[in-house]
């Protein structure tokens, strides 16, 4: 995808939401499909293509029903019943292995493998799946992905990517400070360390002599020295500040053997505070709280990755944040790798929160489709026809999986339907062998939350489009020739 003729930025991707976000669309119905794909990406991270495809299939079925003179209201009522039936089916087949830690970790690994199967990272998916699972489990149940920093450095291959055991900050240590330090007590601050300026707009200070200016400067220095003494009273030996640090306070801190790091970005210090167990402070009057305020790590050192210097914090106290270093041949590869990994991380955090998993390979869709067929048999009136249409739309997803793999979709999907009707609880499409396989043995599992969001978003979007009677467009303004 290309982002416009004037901005020649090329994006190479197979991520559904990224492609839909990059293309310019005028059609209002198509814009709704783009929006649900974006929502899917923000909510659960994966299933962005599936949700747009399923909504499209529902609309295709709706078109057939409308041409048979069935009113949209009946179709929507039927769809809502089918949607509720699908959600009930999902609840009944979902598995929760969170009690068994080893089994739950295996589930997370399989989910990451399934998510990465359709991405650029497919060939190294085992390595990246392990990397994603390790980084998500480090958050101890926290779903804030901003605590996982992804650093992209061109050079090497994707296989050289790794999860940093410590925490990396993309800054360098100030001049005059030690470049390595053991047993670190870290103060993370967001405070002005330039001279205290008179910050009232339009204020002027008049001095009648050079001695007067020298006195003002001396007073500023004294004030700054006082601030540095207050900082030192906490007993820290590393000072990380969000804002600029002028030469004088930097020199004072360096003289006391403190490692000084300035201008750390705000996300960086949030992550650093989470990793080291520090509090971000802006005033320094409570030195008795030193133990609660300061973060701890075993070692700080400068490291080189590619051609850039970074600061590594090893042996962090709380390990509540981590850093993934991605290596790759070009920026396009790195950006696509980041998108792929982000999808996997999103799905894993949702699984850690939701804890329930289902089998992939078209198993869930076929199970829901069968449940809808059963519901249609016991439903009176025209709504039954709408429920059958919903069932057919669901069946299209495993058919598309087969078609994309170059397989005989009619034969495989029918075989899958028979296996599921016979009570097989783990049958699905084995795309490598081109037959119906056992998803439990193959380890193809997905997060239940992803499937749930696909059904909800696609049904709501299709309902919204179906309710539209007409599209009114404003006539373009008449342009008179001069």
Catalytic (active-site) positions: 15, 48-49, 343
Structure tokens at 144: 């804030």
Are the beta carbons of 151 and 170 closer than 8 angstroms?
A: yes
379: DSSP letter: -
Q: Distance between CA 479 and CA 281 in Å, rounded?
A: 60
Q: Distance between CA 24 and CA 11 in Å, rounded?
A: 14
Buried b vs exposed e over 63-89: b needs ≥16 C-beta within 10 Å?
eebeeeebebebbbbbbbbbbebbeeb
The label of the residue with tokens 């999808």 reads 343
Q: Distance between CA 9 and CA 4 in Å, rounded?
A: 8
Give Cα 240 to chain centroid, integer Å: 27
Q: Distance between CA 260 and CA 258 in Å, rounded?
A: 6
Write 217-226 long-range contacts (CB < 8 A, 24+). Answer: 220/195, 220/196, 221/248, 223/196, 224/193, 224/195, 224/196, 224/248, 224/249, 224/252, 225/252
Q: Distance between CA 472 and CA 475 in Å, rounded?
A: 9
- Which ranges in 278-330 belong to alpha helices (H)? 290-293
């Amino acid at each position: 995808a290309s982002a416009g003729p004037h901005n020649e930025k090329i994006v190479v991707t197979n991520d559904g939401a990224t492609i839909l976000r990059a293309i310019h669309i005028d059609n209002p119905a198509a814009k709704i499909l783009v929006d649900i794909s974006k929502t899917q990406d923000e909510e659960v991270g994966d299933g962005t293509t599936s949700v747009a495809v399923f909504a499209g299939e529902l609309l295709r079925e709706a078109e057939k029903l409308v041409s048979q003179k069935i009113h949209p209201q009946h179709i929507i009522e039927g769809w809502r019943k089918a949607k509720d039936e699908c959600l009930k089916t999902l609840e009944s087949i979902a598995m929760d292995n969170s009690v068994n830690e080893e089994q739950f970790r295996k589930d997370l690994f399989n989910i990451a493998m399934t998510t990465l199967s359709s991405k650029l990272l497919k060939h190294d998916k085992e390595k990246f799946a392990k990397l994603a699972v390790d980084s998500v489990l480090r958050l101890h149940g926290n779903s804030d992905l901003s605590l996982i920093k992804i650093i992209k450095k061109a050079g090497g291959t994707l296989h050289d990517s790794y999860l940093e055991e410590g925490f990396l900050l993309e800054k360098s240590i100030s001049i005059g400070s030690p470049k390595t330090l053991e047993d670190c007590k870290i103060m993370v601050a967001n405070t002005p360390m330039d001279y205290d300026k008179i910050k009232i707009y339009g204020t002027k200070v008049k001095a009648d002599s050079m001695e007067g200016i020298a006195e003002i400067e001396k007073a500023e220095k004294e004030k700054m020295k006082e601030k540095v003494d207050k900082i030192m009273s906490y007993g820290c030996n590393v000072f990380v500040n969000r804002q600029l640090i002028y030469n004088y306070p930097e020199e004072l801190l360096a003289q006391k053997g403190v490692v000084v790091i300035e201008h750390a970005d705000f996300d960086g210090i949030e992550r650093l505070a989470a990793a080291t167990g520090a509090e971000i402070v802006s005033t320094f009057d409570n030195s008795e709280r030193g133990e609660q305020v300061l973060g701890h790590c075993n070692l700080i050192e400068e490291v080189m990755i590619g051609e850039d210097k970074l600061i590594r914090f090893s042996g962090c106290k709380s390990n509540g944040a981590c850093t993934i270093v991605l290596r790759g041949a070009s920026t396009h590869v790195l950006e696509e790798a980041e998108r792929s990994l982000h999808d996997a991380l999103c799905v894993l955090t949702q699984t850690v929160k939701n804890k329930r998993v289902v089998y992939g390979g078209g198993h869930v869709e076929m199970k829901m489709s069968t449940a809808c067929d059963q519901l249609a048999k016991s439903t009176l009136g025209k709504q039954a026809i709408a429920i059958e249409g919903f069932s057919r739309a669901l069946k299209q997803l495993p058919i598309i999986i087969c078609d994309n793999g170059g397989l005989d979709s009619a034969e495989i999907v029918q075989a899958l339907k028979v296996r599921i009707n016979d009570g097989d609880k783990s049958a699905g499409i084995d795309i490598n062998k081109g037959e119906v396989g056992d998803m439990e043995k193959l380890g193809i599992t997905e997060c239940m939350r992803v499937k749930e969001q696909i059904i909800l978003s696609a049904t709501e979007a299709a309902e919204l489009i179906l309710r539209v009677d007409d599209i009114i467009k404003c006539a373009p303004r008449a342009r008179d020739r001069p």
